[in-house]
Structure 1
Amino acid sequence: MGLRNHVVVVTGASSGIGRATAEAFARKGCAVVLAARREEALEATARECAKHRGARTLVVPTDTTDAKAVEDLARRAVEEFGRIDVWVNNAAVNAFGRFEDVPLEDFRKVLDVNVMGYVHGARAALRVMREQGRGTLINIASIVGAVAQPYSHPYGMSKHAVRGLGSSLRQQLRVEGVKGIEVCTVLPATIDTPHFQQAANYTGRKVVAMPPVYSPERVARAIVRLVGRPRREVVVGPAGRALVRQSRMAPGLAERAMARQTDKTHLSHDEEAPATHGALHVPAEGEGAVHGGWGGRRRTALRRTAVAAAVAGAAVAAGRRVTHGPAGA
């Protein structure tokens, strides 16, 4: 399915997955409507998108917790480009800490952005898509929407809610007999973005990306593919797929494994960190970035090289067995 001239709205387009997704759609020749709180970072994203032939951009600074602002975002998109073909709900924040230690104002903020922000986006997008008779709504959840983690309680709750929102919307459209509107949910594993540096943190330990780490471009490609081949849910990253499968077959085992992995590799045992609200209430300064410096691309390349070497080694060994016959023959 060709995507050229599709109109795509991306929230959280100032950095990370949102920015990578905007650039991926721009590469296909789409008109991309960029939304986030930081206008400076959105303008930087727009410059990157504009480098691709046929791409058009519209920057709309938006706080997704404000329902009217999100409705205005949809209105601006339609006024500028005539329709909305794809809406990507991606804007999200995080707060780390023991359940009792995360301030309630931070707990509420995570749920407000990650749940109500998606509600506002879905309502605005579906209103336009119902009038058009077509469209694709894509909600970005997480593997912690399948297996929650310790120390990030509001984030895990929010991503479970995002999965529930997608399921309930698909069911409603089905019983209403609506054709042409798709609702998809994406569950990324750990992704190399600035997300972890910008999170609120009350653990006393530095938050680091829990391995294995994948690139945001990998998620962006999965999102773009969903427009042509819609699926209910798609998990990005082999480790994430393995964990989600395990959660279905042995949920208790999956919980224990996630608890150990989080405590061992998601919070540093060497570096302390002061208590901080992160970027929850005031957005980070600067032009933003796609990557967080966790080596997602490099680590993916190393894993692929290791797998290729293992496969080649196995093929050579198999060839020797065929040539020389079994030992002792």
Structure 2
Amino acid sequence: MNERVVVLTGASSGIGRAAAKAFAARGDRLVLAARGAADLAVVAAECGNDPLVVTADVTRRDEVEALADAAVQRYGRIDVWVDSAAVMAYGRFEDLPAEVFERAVTTDLLGPANVARAALRHFRGQGQGTLILVSSLLSRVTVPYMSAYTTAKWGARALARTLHQETRDAPRIHVCTLAPGSVDTPIYTSAANYAGFVGRPPPPVDSAEYVAARVLRLADRPRPQASVGLANRVIELGYNLFPPFYDALVTPLMRAGGLGRARIGPGAGNVFRPAARVEGGPGRVSRRQVEAAGVLAASALIALGLRAARR
């Protein structure tokens, strides 16, 4: 299927930007959407082939519906919709301002719901289409200092599972979720922060381009769920089989790996409005380093888990 029509929400940065460039390299027709017009223009130039660019906020249902209609008006259909729009907020739950918590949950939970509603409306009319919701390992485990993001991702996973059930009557309509572990994107440094230290992706860390390749694979061969991350399965295993052990370790590990040493004052980051994109950062690693870190982390977790089980 050459020259598919692909809509990407969250296309201005991170996984969305990498996926847009990967789809463009294959000759697909793109509709790029995000809140920040300046960064969208840069991504459009990188993609080439005159993509349709629409400034839209996934928390605004009317803007998402208008985005879908604009895509159909220009290209006549929507074959694939990839939603990777998300924001983060660091800090203990009681330290997060209520409005920051609520806005983050709105973006990361009601945003995918708005996207799914608009996409399914067109997919039903066409009789086919693939919706790919970029989720997170944190839709399956919990960590401290990220209550808003984790709450929203757990809810979004429930939504996706429900959509799988409700689209069983339409075998050519696919709803897919992709759950990456740590990914080197600007979401950590642009996040709201009330933890006192800049956030960072804990190792092992994948590149946005590596995750984008899995997005394309789902577009080609849809499946309900996929996971990206060398340590994901081990972390999920520890979370589900050894809850007390996991809970005892996760806070010090989060402080050591999920928060940097650079101090930062409290602020809402890009939760309410787009911020300038800054690529790279403390998570920029080679694939070989990622694999080595993943093997070491998995081995350590398995050994500690077996030791706890024996006790």
- Tell whether the structures are fold-level matches, with TM greater than 0.5: yes
Match for 1:273: what amino acid? I
| Aligned residue among 53, 60, 81 for 1:59 | 53
Match for 1:301: what amino acid? R
1:252-271 to 2 correspondence within 5 Å? 252-268=244-260, 270-271=261-262
Which residue in the other structure is 2:289 paired with? Answer: 302
C-alpha displacement at 1:69, in angstroms? 0.4
Structure 1 residues 186-242: Cα deviation after superposition (integer angstroms, max 9, x where no partner): 111111011011100001122222111110011100010011221221111111232
Which residue in the other structure is 1:292 paired with? Answer: 280
C-alpha distance in 2, partners of 1:205/1:192?
18
| Aligned residue among 89, 95, 103 for 1:95 | 89
Structure 1 residues 66-104: Cα deviation after superposition (integer angstroms, max 9, x where no partner): 100000000000011110001111100011111111000
RMSD of aligned residue pairs (Cα, Å): 1.9
CA contact (8 A) 1:16 1:292 kept: no
CA contact (8 A) 2:181 2:229 kept: yes
- SS of residue matched to 1:214: strand
CA contact (8 A) 2:203 2:290 kept: no
- SS of residue matched to 2:268: coil
- SS of residue matched to 1:108: helix
C-alpha distance in 2, partners of 1:267/1:238?
20
Which residue in the other structure is 1:35 paired with? Answer: 33
C-alpha distance in 2, partners of 1:302/1:180?
39
Give the percent of matched residue pairs that are identical in Structure 1 and Structure 2: 41
| Aligned residue among 101, 108, 118 for 2:102 | 108
2:27 counterpart of 1:45 = no
C-alpha displacement at 1:122, in angstroms? 0.2
C-alpha distance in 2, partners of 1:209/1:266?
6
Which residue in the other structure is 1:194 paired with? Answer: 186
Which residue in the other structure is 1:317 paired with? Answer: none
C-alpha distance in 2, partners of 1:199/1:74?
28
Structure 1 residues 253, 9: CA separation in 2 closer, same or farther (over 3 Å shift)? farther
Which residue in the other structure is 1:325 paired with? Answer: none
Which residue in the other structure is 2:215 paired with? Answer: 223
1:268-287 to 2 correspondence within 5 Å? 268=260, 270-285=261-276
- SS of residue matched to 2:51: strand
2:13 counterpart of 1:21 = no
Gaps of 5+ in 2: 296-311
C-alpha distance in 2, partners of 1:303/1:214?
7
Structure 1 residues 155, 83: CA separation in 2 closer, same or farther (over 3 Å shift)? same
2:145 counterpart of 1:158 = no
- SS of residue matched to 1:120: helix
C-alpha distance in 1, partners of 2:55/2:290?
38
Normalising by structure 2, report the TM-score.
0.90
Which residue in the other structure is 2:206 paired with? Answer: 214
Which residue in the other structure is 2:80 paired with? Answer: 86
Match for 2:263: what amino acid? E
C-alpha distance in 2, partners of 1:255/1:58?
46
C-alpha displacement at 1:293, in angstroms? 2.1
C-alpha displacement at 1:254, in angstroms? 3.8
Structure 1 residues 160, 306: CA separation in 2 closer, same or farther (over 3 Å shift)? closer
C-alpha distance in 2, partners of 1:114/1:295?
22
C-alpha displacement at 1:305, in angstroms? 7.7
* Structure index of larger Rg: 1
Which residue in the other structure is 2:300 paired with? Answer: none
Structure 1 residues 249-283: Cα deviation after superposition (integer angstroms, max 9, x where no partner): 44444444433321222123x43210011011121
Match for 1:215: what amino acid? S
2:112 counterpart of 1:118 = yes
Structure 1 residues 277-324: Cα deviation after superposition (integer angstroms, max 9, x where no partner): 101112113xx35x332344x33233458999xxxxxxxxxxxxxxxx
Normalising by structure 1, report the TM-score.
0.85
C-alpha distance in 1, partners of 2:64/2:20?
18
Structure 1 residues 252, 134: CA separation in 2 closer, same or farther (over 3 Å shift)? farther
C-alpha distance in 2, partners of 1:71/1:26?
23
CA contact (8 A) 1:151 1:203 kept: yes
Structure 1 residues 31-89: Cα deviation after superposition (integer angstroms, max 9, x where no partner): 11111011110010001111xxxx44110000111100000000000011110001111
